[in-house]
Amino acid sequence: MSSEKKYTPPNEMPPAPIHRVLAGQKALVTGASKGLGEGIAIGFGQAGADVLVNYHGDEEGARRTAAAIEAHGGKAVIFKADVSQEDEVKAMFQYMIDTFGRLDICVSNSGIQLNAPLDEMTLYQWQRVIDVNLTGMFLCAREAIRLFKKQGIDRRISYAAGKLIFMSSVHDIIPWEGHANYAAAKGGIMLLMKSLAQEVAHLRIRVNAISPGAIRTPMNVEKLTSPEIFDSVLLRLIPCKRIGESEDVARATVWLASDESDYVHGTTIYIDGGMTLYPGFIGAG
């Protein structure tokens, strides 16, 4: 290979695991009609869980996710709710109990981006991103914790009374110009997660977060379909030189929801190919 030739590593990842570490568990995943939520809900189905698939706009996507879960032998139902609306969130958790009788795992995943430089950002853009990405996390967390407390521990199902996982982002610690609303919400999730984890750990309720980097999801479609942005902008920020797949996030989320991670409380797992390793310092500094 000549030194000028660009080395492009293959986008290879290990095959899917087959352990059914969530057998018998009931999970609720918000924003599961596409992207990371879809991958996580299907991963839960593969691991043996029954899943409530929440969606807001994309009913067809939610149906596809549910069908994929059922193909793995799990039960799946879909439920439309805007996670920023208190009454809709309450109705969704009620439906969860009416359908499955309990809640073992809640993944608060729904998230949006409405980008603008701060001096051009409308109050709507600010408010809507905070409402969905942060207030939605609070509303779902509150309902989940209430249920976890009420049901307590059933050792036949899990050693925890419940597991709550917040979907955050590398932008809970990496500043992002042009996305101040998004980064503010994600930074907020960090201390919401830690404060709540501290509050409920003694009840054996586990609260943690996942912070993905650049993953191949509809949210990132523009970046991925532009070879120029992909090669020269995005890959420059990823030391391991491959874009993440939603399975990368799903597998870690399955582990974090299972008893395999029983001693893990109040932690953020970064799944980012090294994006948080200050890649700008490679060959510099």
Residues taking part in catalysis: 182
Residues that bind ligand BGC (CB under 6 A): 169-171, 213-214, 219-220
User: Which position's Cβ is nearest ligand BGC?
Assistant: 169
In angstroms, the Cα distances linking 222 to 218, 229, 238 are 8, 9, 17
CB 217, min distance to ligand BGC, A: 8
CB 133, min distance to ligand BGC, A: 10
In eight-state DSSP terms, residue 244 is B
CB 108, min distance to ligand BGC, A: 15
CB 93, min distance to ligand BGC, A: 26
CB atoms closer than 10 angstroms to residue 68:
18
Nearer to ligand BGC, 54 or 220 (CB): 220
Nearer to ligand BGC, 91 or 112 (CB): 112
Alpha-carbon span 278 to 281, nearest angstrom: 6
Alpha-carbon span 87 to 139, nearest angstrom: 10
Closest of 152, 140, 148, 154 to residue 54, by C-alpha: 140
Tokens of residue 204, six digits:
């054996």
Nearer to ligand BGC, 171 or 206 (CB): 171
CB 235, min distance to ligand BGC, A: 12
| CB proximity list for 193: less than 8 A, separation 6 or greater | 166, 168, 207, 208, 209, 266, 268
Nearer to ligand BGC, 86 or 231 (CB): 231
Is 66 buried (19+), middle (13-18) or exposed (0-12) by CB count in 10 A?
Answer: buried
Nearer to ligand BGC, 75 or 218 (CB): 218
